[in-house]
Amino acid sequence: MEIKKSAILVLEDGTIFKGKSAGFIGTTSGEICFNTGMTGYQEIFTDPSYYGQVIVTTNAHIGNYGVKEKDEESEKVQISGLICKNFTNDYSRKMADEDLDKYFVDNKIVCIYEVDTREIVRKIRDGGAMNCIISSETEDVDALLTQLKSVPSMEGLELSSKVTTEVAYELGDPNSDVRIAVLDYGTKKNILRCFTERGAFLKVFPAKTAVEELLAFRPDGFFLSNGPGDPAAMDYAITTVKALLQLEKPLFGICLGHQLLALASDVDTFKMHHGHRGINHPVKNIISGYCEITSQNHGFAVSAEQLKSRSDIEITHMNLNDNSIEGIRLVDKPAFSVQYHPEAAPGPHDSRYLFDQFIESIRKSKNN
């Protein structure tokens, strides 16, 4: 890898880190957050749920297995920038298409490396979520701080409309007995793959699709995808989910979709201190009593306090690290959701059974 020029990272609290630059030469900003996964960096970088965020990787080595097109979770890199300890172009995977530096240049992603990521993670963990700015084109701290002040807080931001598909499209076998309408708030490819691998026929719709258009597909069930931003800012989606619940058809939500199901059921969400992002988060399935090791990426959560007083909503999953809500099920409607990512990509496959449960609920509903 050619010798890169210097780069600078400035946090919202004024803390400054200096390092080297990789990828695109420029300036970028967003909410800083850390991911504890030891593998799967390309899947993380292309996950639409990370739109508008700058990622710190706690894994010390990034780029060491290159990039491959089939590992992408969307059509482009979604993160705003990357902060890591060691960045390399010397990849060891023969199947890789290219090195990470070229991939970042092509996608205009700014990266800073050779900084103390442990100190940065501790600041986020202790101080909470904050915005940051990275630059490899200027070291004028005052100018960067001025620019950083204009970066909006993630709280109150509606971002799904930035990452959703522009036109509806179909996947899977058109002759399948299971037809699922997918509301794309920033869905990952592997979620869709988990459905089609189980024989479902999908039609993926833009985030703001009207209920009438969804019903024209003649779906047997509805899926609410993951995505970026604050769910409470998505009035259009909450209204849609409320209407879908009245249809009494099976409904399943993941991550942002989980939060939207809660909001449509009049349960609030809130901005977490620093969120959950990694591939080894322990979650207890309250129904089975078993623990699942899960992949997670979220900065908002559903209010546990409000759920305690709701007899019409059952808590199905709890986070064993902080007791936050990881899954709910409506008692009087065929709808359920989880906060974590059962499709993984990257991460463990402990929770793939949820896709089977949803398809089984669709077939059961059709037979009634």
Residues annotated as catalytic (active site), given as ranges? 255, 341, 343
Q: Which residues contact 241 (CB under 8 A, 6 or more apart)?
A: 224, 251, 260, 261, 263, 264
Percent helix, strand, coil in the chain (nearest 5)?
25, 30, 40
Work out the burial of residue 167: count CB atoms within 10 Å of its CB; fewer than 13 is exposed, 13-18 middle, 19 or more buried: exposed
Identity (one letter) of the amino acid at 6? Answer: S
Torsion of the alpha carbons at 39, 45, 47 and 50, rounded to the nearest 10: 110
Distance, in Å, from the CA atom of 344 to the CA atom of 111, rounded to the nearest integer, reads 25
Distance, in Å, from the CA atom of 258 to the CA atom of 272, rounded to the nearest integer, reads 15
C-beta separation of 234 from 243 below 8 A: no
Nearest to 250 by CA among 132, 334, 332: 334
Distance, in Å, from the CA atom of 263 to the CA atom of 55, rounded to the nearest integer, reads 27
